Structure 1
Amino acid sequence: MLLFAPFIVCVLALALDHLLGEPRRMHPIVGFGRLVTVVEKRLNIAPENPWRSLPAGMLAVLLLTVPMLILAVWVSVALEGLLLMLAQAVMLWLAISLRGLAEHGQAVAQPLHEGDLDGAREQVSRIVSRQASALDEQGVAAAATESMLENGADAVFASLFWFLIAGIPGVVLHRMVNTLDAMWGYRNPRFLYFGRAAARLDDLMGWVPARLTALTYMLLGDRKLAWWCWRTQAPLWDSPNAGPVMAAGAGALNVRLGGPSPYPSGVKQRPTLGGIQDASSASIEAAITLVRHGVWLWVGVVLAVTALIFLMVHS
């Protein structure tokens, strides 16, 4: 039973996610985000001074993560057996948000498919930071497709990875660090120095999961094109983890992503990723399917490895 516990917990968490989705009220990540805002306002008082802002950002990361990490370790030690498995399943459910990812993507794909560009722009503005009003149909589809691929890595596969590696403490630490990076990891005057510690820690924790996600996308899609895109296009991307994920995902779907993108601060020139097909509502749905199939591939691998260890132990 204990040997198969990780597999059982993953299945339970995915079942909870499928049945319940994201909690509509009192989501712990939302509460943590509010605390992050309060701490940042108190500590980030000299954002353009690296000698003050860098240490302040490091202190903020410690203040926000260490107490919760200690609590997560205590829960893992204090509970055992079925209670521990239930606690792990609940924590993993709160972290993965596979159903929420699909709902956000489909909310863009449906109006786009129906020709409602304004409705699609409104929906995509909720999941990306681009200037949605400046996006055409292909731009909206590309933005949503990219979001599905990248958030699949950050929210779904990385959470599964850190649960399998370190249980509840791993899941908690990763989600906190990823949230800090999402809120502070901007290269603007306010967060250039203050958010650097969070950004680097997120890069570190995401390095292995990102490449496993890229491998997953490659195995489940156009393998040859995904590998070529990963090898040649990923190094051109400015993020060490998003590059492999986005390039392999775009290649697996044979869809063209990246390129110039409008932001409130101006147009950002990004490398082109993937194949030759334009992004569309179909590519959004295909990206959602790719993430879903990838999750069940991971669960299948966990079961196969566990069964192999079981047979080796009892042979």
Structure 2
Amino acid sequence: MEHIWALWGGFVLDFLIGDPQDWWHPVRSIGWLIGALEKQLRRIFPRTKQGELAAGAALVFFTAGISTGVAALILWAAGRIHPLLRFLVMCVMCGQLLAARSLEKESGKVRLFLDQGDTEGARQAVSMIVGRDTKRLTEEGIAKAAVETVAENASDGVIAPLLWMLVLGPLGGFFYKAVNTMDSMVGYKNDRYLYFGRAAAYTDDAVNWIPARLTAFFFVLAAWMLPGMDGKEAWRIWRRDRRCHKSPNSAQPEAACAGALGVQLAGDAWYFGVLHKKPVIGDAKRPVVAEDIRRASRLMYTASASALAAGTAAAVFLAFL
């Protein structure tokens, strides 16, 4: 149960202080590792389809193995000094692997600019948290992009690592973050990463398959709990639109969020000057507004706290069997 209480400590730490920009963060180190390994593996493996597929598989193996191994070594060293130090290090690790506060903070900047009528400032702020082109976005488009980011990253950045840590402690969190960071860096279908990034993309789909669906479930639960949210619609839209995305996971939380808020998300988007046609998620009962960004963050926090509480209850129950 030690890792469960450490996760609670990390959850509180993330809620209180988030990720100060001038502090060291493990994801930056994982990103550096991925870049260094990519450079070396491209030198070793041939520039053929099979060679790049093999190099990409090696990237997954070494990145996940080294990231998890270094975390295990740090915890072992801390435990050799004192068990309390090990527990405190576990709390800090868990807090760093959760991104709820950062997600709320960065999306909140978009909302503040929109509230002030500064559309250009809002475009700049939202460009820091989305991958699409933002120059063409209207005020509603900016708000919609921010809400979608909160919904999708509630899984990738909060509930998925939380669930991995509930089961495997901080080491599970480091494994997950290694895989998720690889996907964000090399999991693209372009000339450079079509084959090299395939193993990372497929592994990320696999490790997020259950968390994405549980995130949707906890979104629906949170929608029933929060005033002004619609739990019934969250369930209906999730059932109807959960597969409206090329990714097997992304539409799961977005659909539940769209239903809970009573808005329409997704749809066509511009990337690198090219319009990509995408299906919509949810019903356009009303326009998406700046306040929906705050409401999505409330949904995220309630869902993640519910997931942590449910996981803790399950762990306590199993401990007493």
Question: Is the structural similarity TM-score above 0.5?
Answer: yes
1:236 equivalenced with 2:238 (yes/no): no
Counterpart residue number, 2:194: 192
1:266 equivalenced with 2:274 (yes/no): yes
Identity fraction in percent: 35
Give the 3-state SS of the residue equivalent to 2:16 in structure 1.
helix
| Aligned 8 A contact 1:127 1:147 in 2 | yes
**TM-score normalised by L of structure 2:** 0.89
Give the 3-state SS of the residue equivalent to 2:135 in structure 1.
helix
Counterpart residue number, 1:301: 310
| Aligned 8 A contact 1:105 1:148 in 2 | yes
| Aligned 8 A contact 1:47 1:190 in 2 | no
Give the 3-state SS of the residue equivalent to 1:52 in structure 2.
helix
In the TM superposition, what is the alpha-carbon distance from 1:298 to its structure 2 partner?
2.1
| Long gaps (5+) in structure 2 | 224-229
In the TM superposition, what is the alpha-carbon distance from 1:74 to its structure 2 partner?
4.4
1:37 equivalenced with 2:35 (yes/no): yes
1:16 equivalenced with 2:13 (yes/no): yes
In the TM superposition, what is the alpha-carbon distance from 1:269 to its structure 2 partner?
1.1
In the TM superposition, what is the alpha-carbon distance from 1:165 to its structure 2 partner?
0.9
The list of structure 1 runs, each at least 4 consecutive aligned residues, that deviate by more than 4 angstroms after superposition, is 45-48, 74-78, 306-310
Q: Deviations over 1:263-282 (max 9, x none)?
A: 11411111111232222211
1:289 equivalenced with 2:286 (yes/no): no
Moved more, 88-97 or 116-125: 88-97
| Aligned 8 A contact 2:133 2:273 in 1 | no
In the TM superposition, what is the alpha-carbon distance from 1:287 to its structure 2 partner?
0.6
Counterpart residue number, 2:226: none
Q: Deviations over 1:26-70 (max 9, x none)?
A: 222112212322322343468973122111111122222212222
Amino acid at match of 1:36: I
1:68 equivalenced with 2:67 (yes/no): yes
| Aligned 8 A contact 2:244 2:281 in 1 | no
How many residues align structurally?
309
- What is the correspondence of 1:171-182 to structure 2 with a 5 Å cutoff? 171-182=173-184
| Aligned 8 A contact 1:214 1:248 in 2 | yes
| Aligned 8 A contact 1:135 1:262 in 2 | no
- What is the correspondence of 1:156-171 to structure 2 with a 5 Å cutoff? 156-171=158-173
**TM-score normalised by L of structure 1:** 0.91
What RMSD in Å do the two structures reach over aligned CA positions?
A: 2.1
Query: Would the alpha carbon gap of residues 261 and 60 (structure 1) be closer, same or farther in structure 2, given more than 3 Å must change?
Result: same
Tell me which of 251, 255, 258 is aligned to 1:247.
Answer: 255
Give the 3-state SS of the residue equivalent to 1:9 in structure 2.
helix
Q: Deviations over 1:252-302 (max 9, x none)?
A: 221110111111141111111123222221111111110111122123324
In structure 1, C-alpha distance between the alignment counterparts of 2:67 and 2:206, rounded to whole Å: 19
Give the 3-state SS of the residue equivalent to 1:96 in structure 2.
coil
Query: Would the alpha carbon gap of residues 283 and 63 (structure 1) be closer, same or farther in structure 2, given more than 3 Å must change?
Result: same
Query: Would the alpha carbon gap of residues 161 and 10 (structure 1) be closer, same or farther in structure 2, given more than 3 Å must change?
Result: same
| Aligned 8 A contact 1:16 1:93 in 2 | yes
